[in-house]
Each structure stands twice: as C-alpha cells, then as structure tokens.
Amino acid sequence: MRIILVHGYKASPKTNFWPWLERELKDRRFEVVMPELPTPETPDRDAWTKALLEAVGHLSDQDIVVGHSLGGAAALRLLEAVEARTTPHACVLISTPWMIKDDRFRSFFLTELDHDVLMWRASKFVVVHAKDDTVIPVAHADRYAQVFHAKLITPEVGGHFDGPEYPELLKAIVDVAEEPIIYAPGMSLADEYADIIK
C-alpha cells in the first residue's frame, strides 16, 4: 500500500513529524511518497497541485493520501485533479483548515471544493485535529467530518501537530490502512448491462 504525505505551509519533508512518520511507515512496509512542494513560504495552489500530480501519477485503491494543515487542503485539491483508476483507499486530514481568508492562502480557497464529488474520491476519510490547536480551531475538523462522513479523532492535546513525533497520527493511518473496504462506491447499484455482457 502506498502512502502519499503532503506537508503544509513553511514545512518540508524534513521538518516537523514528517521524517519520523516516514520512517515508521516504511518500517511497516508501506511505500511512501512525500514530495517537496515548491515555495512553502509563499504557497500557490496550482504549483502545489502540479507538483503533487507529477510525484503521484495515478491513484489506485492501494493509495492513502495524508495532508497536514494547508497540506490537507492541497491533498483535497489533488483528489479533485488526479486521474484515479479506482477509488483511493483513504484520505487523512490532519489539522486542516476549512477556510482561511488570509490573502497568502487565497488560491487554495478562492474556488470552493465540491464536497459532494470529493466524498466519492476516497473510500474512507479520517480527520485528526487536536482540541488544543490554537492555529486552526477544532471546529474546522467538525465541518470536514460532517461533509465527508469521516471518522473524527480529536485528542485533548497535540496543538497543531508541528512537533517531532505523534503516535496518534501513525495509529490513525495504520488503522485506516488495515480497514477493509466493504464495497466500492456505486457497487450497490444494479448493473443494467448484466444480461447483455457475458
């Protein structure tokens, strides 16, 4: 199974918990893709989406997309833009803002995400957000959990998850990776061509 890790604003694959998380996932035999996004100090949605598309290629049902903070918004834009041959296994959003009105991040929120479409772009959604996050209030997580029918994990402490290690983040990813997909989106619909194609 492949885990795509998407860092956020002023971050890189070498900062915060990313190096630790990458090691832990690889130790568990996951394939890890963690692109370094351009100009993290002055993030641009189109540039980040292009970099993610180039690094990721196609998505399959063996992929989990994980985004932290603004990287969570970028992960959702990736799901919007990427060609998926099947529905990705899961999307995990960590401390992800629902909306930021600051001009520095305007490109990510200038056009609204189509949540009705996006909820079918992954078989499962998990939202992790600490209750004591002073950067992005936990209410943002509640909105994502509602629109994506996501599993919501809200530890009492953790802040904005910008430290070196967070076992609860690793557990959330490993747990969703191990969850079987009971059915794919649309699988319960009747096959109108069943009698024609043999």
Backbone angles phi, psi at 28, to 5 degrees: -95, 15
Q: Is 69 exposed, middle or buried (0-12, 13-18, 19+ CB in 10 A)?
A: buried
Architecture of domain 2-178: 3-Layer(aba) Sandwich (3.40)
Q: Which two tokens stand for residue 180?
A: 């079987």
Q: How many CB atoms lie within 10 A of CB 38?
A: 12
CA–CA distance from 13 to each of 44, 110, 181 (Å)? 17, 26, 29
Whether pLDDT at 169 is above 60: yes
Please write the tens of the pLDDT for every residue from 54-98: 999 999 999 999 999 999 999 999 999 998 778 999 999 999 999
- Report pTM: 0.89
Please write the tens of the pLDDT for every residue from 5-59: 999 999 999 999 999 999 999 999 999 999 999 999 999 999 999 999 999 999 9
Give the SS3 label for residue 72.
Answer: helix
Is 138:111 a contact under the CB 8 Å cutoff?
Answer: no
Q: Which residues contact 187 (CB under 8 A, 6 or more apart)?
A: none
Please tell me the distance from the alpha carbon of residue 153 to that of residue 3, in angstroms, as a whole number.
19
Q: Is the torsion defined by CA of 152, 78, 177, 89 positive or negative?
A: positive
Please tell me the distance from the alpha carbon of residue 123 to that of residue 177, in angstroms, as a whole number.
11
Place of tokens 């296994």: 89
